[in-house]
Chain A
Amino acid sequence: GNSVTQMEGPVTLSEEAFLTINCTYTATGYPSLFWYVQYPGEGLQLLLKATKADDKGSNKGFEATYRKETTSFHLEKGSVQVSDSAVYFCALRSGSARQLTFGSGTQLTVLP
């Protein structure tokens, strides 16, 4: 079956630090990959996505590259801000399934 393994948190960084949150997956076929973000008190929002190998998704300074050879979709940001403090979820959708399979989530706290 499908599964997503995500770097455990919590992660605490200082403002302007470099961020990496690791995500690897197991799936049949060629899944689409997603990063969702959940800010305090809000619902999940799509942050970025990639639908095929070597695609790079990007949004709000965050990037993730679909690496088929390593089955990974690591999230990166060059300089985090306090406002980036949230929980980040890696997810995949495989084949004809319309629902998502989520990773466990990573809590990020950015300190001023």
Chain B
Amino acid sequence: SAVISQKPSRDICQRGTSLTIQCQVDSQVTMMFWYRQQPGQSLTLIATANQGSEATYESGFVIDKFPISRPNLTFSTLTVSNMSPEDSSIYLCSVEDQGEKLFFGSGTQLSVL
């Protein structure tokens, strides 16, 4: 099974600033996913990040707001730009490994004041 290290685990940020979340995997994986879990709600896919190509964003999410990097097969970052209180959520990195198994990081709890 893949082990995912995600950091920071939590942060409190000021409105208008940006935060970059890192996701490190202990094995090479092709597909990495970034999800958002808003308070009291389910997980929503933000984008899919494949190494060597631009991320694919879901409806309602844009690259200018959530730029993603995927420099190699074990690492990705998600930036939440120009934050507002509505961006307060848990952000989760996920990878696919061994067929249909998806593994998740422990998440980044973001609070925007």
Q: Which A residues are closer than 8 A to B by beta carbons?
A: 6, 32, 34, 36, 41-46, 49, 51, 89, 93, 98-100, 102-105
Contact = CB atoms under 8 A, between A and B. Distances in A.
Contacts, number: 43
6 contacts: A43-B6, A44-B94, A98-B96, A100-B102, A102-B44, A104-B42
Contacts of B6: 43
Interface of B: 4, 6, 31, 33, 41-45, 48, 92, 94, 96, 100-107
Contacts of A103: 42
B98 to A, nearest CB: 11
A32 B41 CA distance: 22
Given A44-B92, A104-B41, A93 B100 contact: yes
A44 B4 CA distance: 11
Contact of B45 (A45, A49, A51, A99): A99
Nearest to B43: A102
Given A89-B43, A103-B42, A104-B42, A43 B92 contact: yes
A46 B106 CA distance: 13
Nearest to A105: B42
A105 B41 CA distance: 7
